Amino acid sequence: MPRSFLFAFFVILLAAAGCRQKPDRLITADGRVLSGELLSIHGTTVEFSGSSIELETDQGRLYLKEGLSRRGTIGYEDGVFTLAEGSGAAEVPISDVATVIWSHPSSEASVTLEVPAAEGWVPTGLEAAESQRICISATGRVSIETGSSGPQGIDYFSTASALFPGATNGQLILRVGESTPVAAGSSWAGVSPGDGELFLAVNRADASSSGGVGGAFTVPAVTTSGVSGGTVLYPAPR
């Protein structure tokens, strides 16, 4: 058999293996695992290819790949999640969803506050543990020493002496307790970087100055239950 044929056959096998769809996975609080293709979610019933499971609640939160999250009654059919919130409903393609965590509303705490550019670190009054998740979004515009910006900050402009040199000037940043700050921007959802109170700030080169500094970001912030002790769905990449 020619070597060229064997090589081509080997390449085809590798390509076929790489194209196999990774499974969706659901892990319950008591350690049970469902793996395969997610078929449907109706009420508290989650159906996978070949198996199904009953959850304690139909309430939960969708964590989107773009950094936002949304809470409500969760359903799923034909590749689309439905999220009922009050009297309305939203549809979210599974390809946009990073994680789903089912939890009761009592497991969450929220606040909406103003984060002025001139005030440095602003306490939110929300406590977070490393096992929990934090979701924030931000709107508004601020003026600082190096210009004006929205929550994403001034592109490619960071300062070594800023509150957090790893973020751009004017960007919304967060920290929990004494943890290393995180560049949050206009939307961020992730695991808490530490234990303690959640703080928010506008990243500035000189937090002691006030000349030319003004404006504030409006920030809804939510602390939620984490994957530990909860029922979690990890959709496969699509």
Q: Is 238 within 8 Å of 27 (Cβ atoms)? A: no
Q: What is the mean pLDDT of residues 6-19?
A: 44
132-145 confidence digits (pLDDT tens): 999 999 999 999 88
Which pLDDT score is estimated for 89? 87
The pLDDT-based confidence of 8 (bands split at 50, 70, 90) is very low
| Rounded Cα–Cα distance for residues 216 and 118 (Å) | 8
Please tell me the distance from the alpha carbon of residue 175 to that of residue 121, in angstroms, as a whole number: 9
* CA–CA dist 198, 145 (Å, integer): 26
| 115 and 151 part of one domain | yes
Phi, psi angle pair for 94, to nearest 5°: -60, -25
pTM of the entire predicted model: 0.78
Domain that holds residue 182: 107-224
Residues 97 and 113 both lie in one domain: no
Residues in CB range of 84: below 8 A, 6 or more apart: 72, 73, 75
Same domain, 101 and 112: no
Residues 86 and 152 in one domain: no
CA distances from 113 to 70, 117, 148 (A): 19, 13, 20
Residue 14 has pLDDT above 60, yes or no: no
> Domain check: are 84 and 138 in the same one?
no
The pLDDT mean for the chain works out to 87
Cα distance between residue 152 and residue 93, in whole Å? 26
- Does the pLDDT at position 18 exceed 50? no
What total number of domains does the chain contain?
2
> Pick from 36, 42, 99: which is nearest to 65 by CA?
99
- The 10s digit of each residue's pLDDT in 83-128 is 998 778 899 999 999 999 998 888 899 999 999 999 999 999 999 9
Share of the chain above pLDDT 70, in %: 88
144-189: pLDDT as tens digits: 888 899 999 998 777 787 899 999 999 999 999 999 999 999 999 9
Residue 121 is predicted with a pLDDT of 95
* Domain of residue 134, CATH code: 2.60.120.430
pLDDT band at 207 (very low <50, low <70, confident <90, very high): low
State whether residue 208 is helix, strand or coil: coil
Same domain, yes or no, for 77 and 118?
no
Residue 111 sits in the same domain as residue 220: yes
Same domain assignment for residues 151 and 136: yes
